[in-house]
Each structure stands twice: as C-alpha cells, then as structure tokens.
Amino acid sequence: MNYFSSNFKLGILGGGQLGKMLLNDTRKFDIYTCVLDASTEAPCKIASNEFHIGDLMDFDAVYNFGKQVDVLTIEIENVNVDALEALEKEGIKVYPSSKTLRTIQNKATQKLFYVDHNLPTAAFSRFAYTSQIQDTIDNGGLSLPFVWKAAQFGYDGTGVKIVKTIQDLEGLPNVECIAENLVPFKNELAVIVIRNASGETKTFPVVEMEFHPEANQVEYVICPARIDKKIAKKATEIALKTSQAFNHVGLLAVEMFLTQDNNILINEVAPRPHNSGHQTIEASYTSQFEQHLRAILNLPLGRTDSKVSGVMVNLVGAEGYSGNVIYKNIENIMGMEGVTPHIYGKKQTRPFRKMGHVTIVNEDVNEARRIAEAVKLTIKVISE
C-alpha cells in the first residue's frame, strides 16, 4: 500500500502530547491523519489533517471514527475496546489489537497475564472492591506495606498509592484493584520494544528512570541506563519475551524494577509511544514516534541505537499554580549545553500536569544528568 502523499488515512485515538509528537513524523512522511479526542483544546488539533471531537470511551464515537480510516492506532490506553474489536472484524487494521489492549487496560488482568506467561512480576492480590482489603489484612491474608493500584483508568500517579498504615486506605475509591508487594528496588528501568506486522522486532537501549517522591511521576529518564551490561541484557531479554507473549504490533514500553539482589520484575507495560522514550527524538537515529509509524504500517524498522547519551526531564505544573501557563526561565535553560525543550501546547497548567519535557544530550551521560538537574532547578511551570 502507498502511505506517502496518497489517499491512505491513519486514525489516531487520543489527541494529547504523544499524538502531537507522532504527528511530527506523519508530516515528515506526508501521511494523512485523522485524530479523535474529547477536548477542543487537544494538542493534536493543529497538526492533524482532520480533527474529530468525540469521547474515546464511547462505542459509537470510536466505531464511526474508525470506519473512516485504513489503519487505527492509539496514543492513550483508555479507549472503547469493544468498538476496536468490531472494527477489526470489518477489516480495519487496529494496532495495538483490541486483544492486547483489553489485557493491558485492566491492571489485574495484566498481572495475571505475566503469571500465565512465566514473566517475572511482584506478587499481588486481586480485589473486586477496595473495601475488601481491610478484612484480608485482619485475617492475615495481606500484610503492610503494599502498593494499592486501581485496576482501571489509573495513569501518571493517579490510581496508585503506597499503603503503609490502615489509615492510608481511607479515601481510596472503592473499585476493583490490586494490592502488590512493595518491591525494595534499586531503580526502575524501561525497555521499548518495536515490532511490525511481519514480526521484525527491535529494542531501544535500556533506560533508567528516576521518580518524583510525592507525585509518583518520572522526573528523569536516563539513556543509557547506568547499570552493568549483564543486567541490561537481562532487562532486554525480559522485554522481548513480554513482547512475544503479547504478540503486539507497534511499540511496547516495558517498565521494570531492578531489585536489591539484581532481579528484574515487570511493573507494567504501555502499548504506545511512552514517556521513557522521549529522549529518542534528539538522542537516537530513529525516534520512538517514527518507529511506531514504521511498525504499524509494516515498514522496515529504523536503527534503535543512540547517537549520543540523552536525559529527559518532565516539565510538570508547579504546586500552587493553576491557570494560563507561563514557562518561567525557559530562555535560561536554552542557553545551557545540549538542551531542547518540547512544549506540548496545553494552555492551562495545574499542579503536576505534564506540560512538556526537556531533552539534554551529551557525550557523557553523567554530564547530561548534571545539566538535567540544573534545568529542573531553573525552569518553573507557573501561571499568570
């Protein structure tokens, strides 16, 4: 099929920053794009060929949108899977498939999938309702501390809480959830696997992620991860095994814990471009977004190695500020060595909202990390 400067239509469910960055590459290749999002202010609005307003969880909205395109992809997991399944039956190519998404959308189902496929993951208990946890603790079936995770619709630190005392359960939504053993990990790693419909598979180098202690959001993504080669090899092998089990098409970001005794446990996966791959835009031969396009269109995959070390810093709304956004001191960080800001185009800021990211490239990964810290301390996402 001819995708380039043709009447082929690529549909994207979700109009956020991941979609916006994906559209940079569809424009590079002159691929016609249609985007569906519920917000009239979505970042994708300006860069797509067609922008449709609709609820991603609504069957009819997703189904009717999907009927107008040749290949359908996502930039967010929270979409109506029944509609995707109906579209697949009618011959629309959907990547990732409805089957993959159905498994990943629910954290309990996702965890059971790892167990069924002998993939290493932290031990967990599954609950139909949060209210059942108290009884289980009282009867000795669960001990503190543990990590509470809502089975569905959690993202970026929402729907996740570390429970150290019984009081920590108060105020949590009474929903289907899992209680996961708290893993004493050294650090968090991620590997992005790319796979096209023909089965050609590649991986990006292992990255290391440093988290914000309160917000449960990634603060820094460091590539390459500063770990032993053997551990990097092990992490890559686990990511490939996970990809094989899902049999996905597109990108699969596999987030992992590296434990104190150098074991690797899968935390969770995302079947789309991911926060842990943003540095690939500046640091790699082929960005994660271009790789996603190559994979879902069944084109040959690009090189995945890095040209240079890269560190990514998330730009999130500062605490205490809500309203029209201002990027304070942005010109100061642009004066620093190897710094490229990416602004997502969200006009309104609020505490911890992802508003952009900054990539720092340097031959020396430790120097890049040092500059990243300076960036973090300098730029502030505030409001008028």
Q: Which residues are annotated as a binding site for ATP?
A: 107, 149, 180-183, 188, 267-268
What is the token pair recorded at 243? Answer: 């990809």
DSSP, collapsed to helix, strand or coil, labels residue 318 as: coil
Task: Tell me the C-alpha distance between 256 and 263, whole Å.
Answer: 10
Strand order in the sheet with 9-13: 50-53, 32-37, 9-13, 71-74, 93-94
Vertex 269, ends 212 and 310: CA angle to 5°? 55
Binding residue positions: 107, 149, 180-183, 188, 267-268
Location of structure tokens 């770990």: 227
Check the CA dihedral 32-37-41-42 and report its sign: negative
One DSSP character per residue, 219-269 reads EEEEES-SS-HHHHHHHHHHHHHHHHHHT-SEEEEEEEEEETTS-EEEEEE
Reduce the secondary structure of 124-158 to three states and give it as a string.
Answer: EEEECCCCHHHHHHHCCCCCCCEEEEECCCCECCE
Cis peptide preceding 213, ω within 30 of 0: no
How distant is the alpha carbon of residue 156 from its chain centre? 9
What is the token pair recorded at 342? Answer: 């990416």
